[in-house]
Copies of this chain bind each other. A is one copy, B any other.
Amino acid sequence: MAQVRNKKIVLKDYVYGFPKESDMLLVTSDTINLKLTEDSNAVLVKNLYLSCDPYMRGRMSNTQGSYIDSITLGSPIEGLGVAKVIDSGHSKFKKGDLVWGMTRWEEYTIIKAPDQSIFKIEDTDVPLSYYTGILGMPGMTAYVGFYEICAPKNGECVFVSAASGAVGQFAKLSGCYVVGSAGSKEKVDLLKNKFGYDEAFNYKEEQDLDAALKRYFPDGIDIYFENVGGKMLEAVLSNMRFNGRIAACGMISQYNLEQGEGVCNLMHIVTKSLCMQGFIVRNYFHMLPKYLEMVMPLIKQGKISYIEDVAEGLESAPAALIGLFSGKNVGKQVVVVARD
């Protein structure tokens, strides 16, 4: 059997507060057989593109309350990625297939329950790395949260915090007025000039988030796509309109705090009949074909813009992941392990 080196990034210590590169470790000494055993029904993949996503922070803590298990210390970081099938013991996958889904931060991974954790890539007429973003979990998150949970109507006012992805573009295509917040001038320019947001602002430059929202939404917000939490959520609640909807898929401002920030004005939920719905996108993956059918033509026709922040090499992955929490990335943060 061909034995090859299998470089990997493992979790060294559970993370408290802000994650550091030294919480992870590059291990270069491991090897792997590039052939599954006869009785295996797993899939062996070569990882091509790895995805850095904010939710991963939760798996790096040793605390309860996250919706997925902590990563085991000493094991490779788990995360989403695009990969190529090298060997398969599973009838749904064959050698040479391209897949995306839950893999590990290493060169080669054995995926034990492939039908539950990876999807076959059917359309390769787009950059493969897009399946870590707009064509994968983050794109599905935008789709589910915006269309399924917020049920937008033409002309409604939409606010997206930590804006960078597809939500704002979906909202524009739905005839909504859309404002996004981001953490740098470069991102704000992108939102306005490339992604077609009506307005965007740098939240770091606003002394008073409430005043900023009142400036952009003099008549209030109908739909809020919640990625941030804490003080931003508090300011948004004060500016929501009657029957407003909040889709909550994450609260990145809270992930590295020992104690979450208090939100003091939840009474707006009552007085304005707001609906705040949390969701976990993996519970909606049955809608993936429907989503791809909608989004693929939009991408191919250039009606949706998409940008990536690409880090080269597995060894660059820890810094790339940590950069998410200081907002260093511009666009979807991808790590290239191999291009084929």
Contacts and interface: CB of A to CB of B under 8 A. Distances in A.
Interface residues of A, number: 36
Contacts of A278: 268-275
Contacts of A266: 229, 233, 248, 251, 260, 263
A150 to B, nearest CB: 13
A113 B55 CA distance: 53
A66 B266 CA distance: 12
Contact of A262 (B251, B263, B269, B277): B263
Interface in A265-291: 265-280, 283
A265 to B, nearest CB: 6
A279 B271 contact: no
A124 to B, nearest CB: 33
Contacts of A229: 266-267
Contacts of A272: 67, 278
Interface in A226-283: 229, 233, 238, 242, 248-251, 254, 259-280, 283
A302 interface: no
Given A251-B266, A273-B279, 11 more contacts: A229-B267, A259-B264, A260-B264, A260-B266, A263-B263, A263-B264, A270-B278, A270-B280, A273-B280, A275-B275, A275-B276
A248 B270 contact: yes
A65 interface: yes
A11 B83 CA distance: 70
B265 A260 contact: yes
A229 B278 CA distance: 19
A262 B66 CA distance: 21
A267 B254 contact: yes
Most buried by B among A65, A248, A249, A254: A248
A286 to B, nearest CB: 15
17 contacts: A65-B238, A67-B271, A67-B272, A229-B266, A233-B266, A248-B266, A250-B270, A251-B266, A251-B267, A262-B263, A263-B264, A268-B278, A269-B276, A272-B278, A273-B279, A273-B280, A274-B277
Contacts of A276: 269, 275-277
A264 B272 CA distance: 21
A103 B280 CA distance: 46
Nearest to A264: B260
Most buried by B among A265, A275, A276: A276
